[in-house]
Each structure stands twice: as structure tokens, then as C-alpha cells.
Amino acid sequence: MGALERLGVLGGTFDPIHVGHLLMGQTAYEALGLGLVLFVPAGVPPHKRKLERGEAQARLAMTRAAVGGDARFAVSTVDMERPAPHYTVDTLALLAEQYSLGPDSIYFIIGSDSLEQLHTWHRAGELVQRCLLAVIGRPGHPIDLPAVYDRVPQVEGRLMVLDMPAIGISSTLLRRMVACGRSIRYWVPPGVERIIEETGLYCRPVAQTMGGSR
């Protein structure tokens, strides 16, 4: 196999990972001619509710179950193997070194909801110099490029919008469904559903997320 020329990076809490995440990865893989899409579960995300160590391992197991068997996808534990806090700008630097790739060969895949908050992320100007942004629209979050460029000027010329049908699914919704005893079959891959059922994940009230810098 030749050297990897284009790497997609799709980070997230993946709490749980669902079909929307996988479709984002597939869309970017095909649209950008990527050699690999790397799913990077967050270790201790600074912008999310507090996660305990056991939950991190469960999220990693679910991510591996979701992408296993698909040669286009792989899982990186780069964020789980280093001390907190885990910022995206540092993750991208580590992956660039690991895969020996320059910033124009790394495509950071995000939804338009995340793009809206990009200016609040840790060292956002530096972050967009370490990669190209591949943005996929999310329901209720129209892409306002002038506003993004105004808040993070460095992103201009380093962003592309990918076309994918809008899918109104979120990990928060799925956690609430499980907590209420509803089925999430077809919303997540079978391996993910099995882990949730076997471990009893989310069978408790869902904590609220907290704002903050990525």
C-alpha cells in the first residue's frame, strides 16, 4: 500500500456514535478522494458534560464496533492516550506528525453546528492553519460563511462545503431515547446497539451539556 496522501479526521464524543457520523465520514471520503477517515473519540472534551473513565472506554468500544470491517475507516486513540485537556488544535498536530502529512493533506470534518462555534475553540486561528475544513450541513444550522470569516479570518480559503442530505439525529437524542426505554435500532450500527444493551449505558437521566472551548 502506498503512502497516505489525504487523511480525513472526524472527531467527537461519540456518546454514542450513530449513522449520521458514519454518513459524514463516507460523504467526505468520496467527495474528497480521501485515503482514510480517522474517527477520533474525545478523551476529556472541554466543551462537554463531565465524563467518567468507564464511559470513555465504552465510547471507544462503540466507535470501534461502528467502523470495524470498513477499510475506509479507522479509529485513533490519540486523545485518550494523553493528559487532559484535549484540544483539537493539538490533536491535529499530533496526527500530522504521526501520518507525516502537511496541513493541506488533512481534512477536518465538522458539521455546520460546530462551524458556528469555531471562533470559541481553543486557538481557532492556528487550528485552521493545520488542516482544511470539510463542512457538512446540519438541520437548523445554515452555513453563514461571511460570519465565519469575520470571526476567524484565517479560515478563508481553507474551507469547503460538502453536500449531504440533512439528517436530524444527535447523540443527545439517542441517549434520551434509551433513558426512556425506546429502541434505537437502525439509528446506530448493530454492534453499537449491542454494547448499549449489554452494558446498560444511558439507562439513567441524561445530564445537560456545558459550554466551553474546544
Burial (CB count within 10 angstroms: exposed 0-12, middle 13-18, buried 19+), residue 1:
exposed
Task: Provide the residue count of the chain.
Answer: 214
Distance CA 77, CA 12 (A): 12
Q: In which residue ranges of the chain is pLDDT below 70?
A: 1-2, 44-54, 205-214
CA-atom Rg of the chain in angstroms: 17
Q: What is the pLDDT of residues 108-165, one digit of tens each?
A: 999 999 999 999 999 999 999 999 999 999 999 999 999 999 999 999 999 999 999 9
The Cα 206–Cα 1 span in angstroms is 44
CA dist 49 and 52 (Å) reads: 10
Domains and CATH numbers, the chain: 7-199 (3.40.50.620)
